[in-house]
């Protein structure tokens, strides 16, 4: 259980990735607001998850959820990123926005296709403005792992221009049961986003159900 519970609005929490993060953060002791285009559907999802795992959850329409959250996590497909950013822009001002968006462009999702801004997270930062601290994370973790209770052998790269905000998100990654690594400024999110297409290709080639990445080496023991 976390020592400093936060109110986290998860935009897209009725989907697999957002639902998995909502589950793990609620179990860790945070209050989670499930966001959806349909506020009624969001509340139903929150009540169902609360019945299953306990914890503190509620559901709201996306814009209301963003306004009510201390921290907001965006967990939608790339095709929905811009519409969702438009819906939550006012609500995220002055807050941390965790962006898990990956620029996958069907049908060739196994091919790296970054947007003209170089990454989806930079695209989000440009749109919401400098008063929002956009932090990129969770691009390389399979949703099926987050929606289970098993230990996850996968690391998470956390990038963002504000070091303090990045540290907060590192803590939230660890609350979700994963190892987090500071990965530098937001521009570096391009690498994590691109890795997703590589992992998809590996999953297909080797029939792996949700491959991930691990960082080797021991902190403090550099030569």
Quick: pLDDT tens for 39-65.
Answer: 999 999 999 999 999 999 999 999 999
- Write down the pTM of the prediction: 0.96
- The Cα–Cα gap between 21 and 38 comes to 19
Instruction: Please report, rounded to a whole number, the percentage of residues in the chain having pLDDT higher than 90.
Output: 93
The band of 2, judged by pLDDT with boundaries at 50, 70 and 90, is confident
In a domain, 48, yes or no: yes
Report yes or no on 223 lying in a domain.
Answer: no
State the pLDDT at residue 3: 79
- Specify the residue for token string 């898990």: 100
pLDDT recorded at residue 222: 62
| φ/ψ (deg, to 5) at 117 | -80, 0
Q: Residue 204's closest CA among 105, 108, 78, 115?
A: 108
Does 217 fall in a domain? Answer: no
In a domain, 2, yes or no: no
pLDDT of residue 118: 96
**Euclidean distance between CA atoms 192 and 37, whole angstroms:** 28
- Domain region containing 58: 7-206
Query: CATH no. for residue 176?
Result: 3.40.50.720
Torsion sign, CA atoms 89, 82, 134, 145: positive
Beta strands in the chain (DSSP E): 7-11, 31-36, 56-61, 71-74, 96-99, 133-136, 155-160, 179-182
Average pLDDT for 5-23: 96
Any domain includes 172? yes
Average pLDDT of every residue of the chain: 96
pLDDT tens by residue, 103-132: 999 999 999 999 999 999 999 999 999 999
Please report whether residue 169 resides in a domain: yes
Residue 212 belongs to some domain of the structure: no
How far is 14 from 1, CA to CA, in rounded Å? 24
Distance CA 14, CA 17 (A): 9
Indicate the number of domains in the chain. Answer: 1
The answer to whether residue 79 sits within a structural domain is: yes
In the numeric block, the tokens 């997270």 are attached to 121
């Amino acid at each position: 259980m976390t020592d400093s519970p936060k109110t986290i609005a998860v935009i897209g929490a009725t989907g697999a990735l957002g639902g998995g993060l909502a589950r793990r953060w609620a179990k860790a002791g945070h209050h989670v607001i499930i966001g959806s285009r349909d506020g009624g559907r969001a509340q139903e999802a929150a009540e169902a998850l609360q019945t299953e795992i306990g914890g503190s959850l509620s559901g709201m329409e996306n814009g209301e959820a963003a306004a009510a959250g201390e921290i907001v996590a965006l967990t939608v497909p790339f095709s929905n990123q811009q519409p969702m950013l438009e819906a939550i822009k006012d609500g995220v001002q002055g807050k941390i926005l965790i962006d898990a968006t990956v620029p996958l462009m069907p049908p060739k999702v196994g091919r790296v296709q970054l947007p003209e801004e170089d990454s989806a997270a930079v695209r989000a930062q440009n749109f919401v403005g400098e008063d929002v601290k956009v932090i990129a994370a969770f691009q390389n973790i399979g949703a099926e792992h987050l929606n289970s209770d098993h230990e996850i052998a996968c690391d998470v790269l956390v990038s963002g221009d504000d070091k303090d905000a990045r540290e907060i998100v590192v803590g939230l990654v660890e609350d979700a049961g994963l190892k987090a690594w500071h990965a530098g400024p937001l521009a570096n999110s391009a690498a994590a986003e691109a890795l997703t297409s590589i992992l998809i290709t590996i999953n297909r080639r080797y029939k792996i159900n949700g491959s991930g990445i691990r960082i080797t080496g021991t902190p403090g023991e550099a030569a």
